[in-house]
Chain A
């Protein structure tokens, strides 16, 4: 039973390019969360999605960032026109149920480390 799969593990982009980060949740998990972590800092919530729906995107910057979780395929976090400040580790996590349920343990992927030159 594969865990949460994220790719690429490392991504280097030049300023102005686009970054696409992919996340395949654990089998049976339909709830996906994206977090951003700067070096030596905590996990900052970005967005919470269920299949085909964005449930909460209050942590997403208003511009350049978008996320989706299509019916088929992985969840994708897209960053357009990257800037140096976007350099960070982006973690995806999945859970079988919604945040307030009793079985809402998050399983994290290994993360995608984005470096913007």
Chain B
């Protein structure tokens, strides 16, 4: 079946360092979305990418959608303690599911 893998699974960074998480799908995605889940919280939508090669920025966050629409990345510049949480990529499957990646848990050390 379709799989959406994320690497790394865990990442610890010093505050101020950069952070990147990568998302890889076994099949082409019509669109990809990123969500953030704070510890003890629920997933919150960050952004949606639709076009091949698309790049979007939100302040210190940069999102990319691969040319083949099978992979994506989220890069955070100069992390802050407020960036702590788990970042999930997600996309619609060939069926009718909305499939979430395995997630990357980010810890920021002050």
Contacts and interface: CB of A to CB of B under 8 A. Distances in A.
B14 interface: no
A108 B95 contact: no
Interface stretch (A12-20, A22-30, A75-83, A98-106): A98-106
A107 to B, nearest CB: 7
A56 B96 CA distance: 6
Interface of B: 30-31, 33, 35, 41-45, 48, 50, 88, 90, 92-93, 95-103, 105
Interface residues of A, number: 26
Interface in A34-73: 35, 40, 42-43, 45, 48, 55-56, 58-59
Interface in A91-117: 91, 93, 95, 98-100, 102, 104-111
Given A42-B102, A45-B100, A99-B98, A108 B92 contact: no
A108 B42 contact: yes
Given A105-B33, A106-B45, A107-B45, A48 B102 contact: no
Contact of A102 (B31, B88, B95, B98): B31
